Structure 1
Amino acid sequence: MSRIVFAILGAVVAVFPKQTLTVYEWLAIENRDECTRRSWVVPAVRVEGVVFLVASLLGGKTYQRLLDFSGAVGAVALAAPKQYLGVGGWLSYQSSETVEWNSRFIAVARSFGGLVLLSAIRSHKSGGDDSDATAELDADAESA
């Protein structure tokens, strides 16, 4: 199941990076009108989407490494959401010290981090075998 979710998420982010960022900023940042994105953020978000999509479609070790990395990032977001968002702000915005995070979004970042971490742990417990999702993706490909 998580492979399908990652594939859909990757496709949406790859095709609509500006819109994805706009929604993210609308949810996450109180003073978004005062924040200026760095020039490389939109292309980087598109690349991230492509990586999620390709790794999800390939499956196997490629997908497992994506989950490993995502789980590690999720663990950081779960344990220290303010610092996680602070690093993201520092990487993504000019004058990042002026970014005011929505206090409710801090809880969202923590919850999302926990969800991604649990997905990575679940995948390891099953030996990296996401056979349900593989069967669903194969069935979709055959019906197309």
Structure 2
Amino acid sequence: MIRTVVGVLGAVTALFPDEIVDLFENLAIANPREGTVRGWVRPAIRSEGVLIAAISLFDGRAYAWLMNLTGVFGAVVLLFPDLYRKFATAFLYERPESIEWNERFRSGIRAIGALYVFLAAKTYRDRHTDT
């Protein structure tokens, strides 16, 4: 079930990278029209979505690795939301100093991190109880 959801989210991300960026900015950034996303971000989001969708088609080592990586990323985001915001701002925007985060999104970042950790732990448990 989780693999299907992850695959669908990957496909949606691959098909609609502009909408994904707009949604993220509208939720997370206080001044979404102030910043300019670096030119490589949208193609990278599309590529990531294709990769996630493809990996999710098969339940093997690649999917296990993907979910483990998701769990690690989720733990970092859950425990260090301000570090994530600082890194994401510098990494994704041409003028990071112009970006102002919505303070209420700090809880959203933590919720996303917790969800990623949960999904990774569940798939890990499911993988190891099946054998």
TM-score range, shorter chain: over 0.9
SS in 2 for 1:102: coil
Which has the larger Rg?
Answer: 1
Q: Distance in 2 between matches of 1:43 and 1:32?
A: 19
Give TM-score, length-normalised by structure 1.
0.85
Residue 113 (str. 1) matches residue 113 (str. 2): yes
State how far apart, in whole Å, the 2-side matches of 1:127 and 1:28 are. Answer: 34
> Map of 1:45-56 to 2, 5 A cutoff?
45-56=45-56
Q: Superposed, which structure 2 residues align to 1:1-144 within 5 Å?
A: 1-127=1-127
Are the equivalent residues in 2 in contact too, given 1:60–1:128 (CA < 8 A)?
Answer: no
Q: Aligned in 2, Cα 1:92/1:23: closer, same or farther, shift over 3 Å?
A: same
Q: Structure 2 unaligned runs (5+)?
A: none
Q: CA deviation at 1:96?
A: 1.0
- How many residues align? The count is 130
Q: Which runs of 5+ in 1 are unaligned?
A: 131-144
Identity over aligned pairs, percent = 38
Displacement of 1:127 in angstroms is 2.6
1:126 CA displacement:
2.2
Question: Relative to total residues, which structure has the larger helix share, 1 or 2?
Answer: 1
TM-score by length of 2: 0.93
* Structure 1 residue ranges (4+ consecutive) displaced by more than 2 angstroms after TM superposition: 126-130
